[in-house]
Amino acid sequence: MGTSYLSDATKTFLSDQFNNLHATYSRPIVIWKTAQQTIISTNPDTNYMFAGAPGNSETLVVQQSGVFDARILYGKKQDMSIFNTVQWRNSAEQNNLWLQEGEVRLKLDPTGAAFIAGAKSVTFDGTLFEVVTSKRPHSLIGTPNFFDFFLRKEN
């Protein structure tokens, strides 16, 4: 079995440098989880077919969000996809519209990675993105300090 070229002290020093790099180049993002619903009062005669009935149970909806630091990398090639229109007998009734798909990679520390695990969307640079992948550990030395996620722009 081989031995490492780096001592434990050197590995710790380099790991700290990656944390400094993250602190230097990261920007704040807002991660949105699905809303948490809490039942305030229950009614045994709740009408499930008509959710807005006045005699139903009362629920409180609390939106869960958090602000975390992330390193952001926009995709080098931003593909465009056709926005399909209704066509009749293979004739286009209007010009084809193109929508930008916009893919982004986020690099988060373990705290942000734990929060984004159950999230549906992320906001930064005035744009809303949806999470399309699970976390991917990212580290050059030792245990992963950061995790990558890929997002797609919501249209």
What is the SS3 assignment for 118?
coil
CA atoms in the 13 A half-sphere facing the CB of 104? 23
Per-residue pLDDT tens for 123-153?
999 999 999 988 899 888 878 889 999 998 8
The pLDDT tens digits for 49-88 are 666 666 666 667 777 889 999 999 988 766 665 555 555 5
Beta-ladder partners of 121: 32, 130
pLDDT of residue 147: 94
Secondary structure (3-state) at 140: coil
pLDDT of residue 37: 65
Please determine, for residue 102, whether its predicted confidence score (pLDDT) is greater than 70: yes
pTM: predicted TM-score of the whole model, two decimal places: 0.69
Using only the alpha carbons of the chain, give its radius of gyration. 23
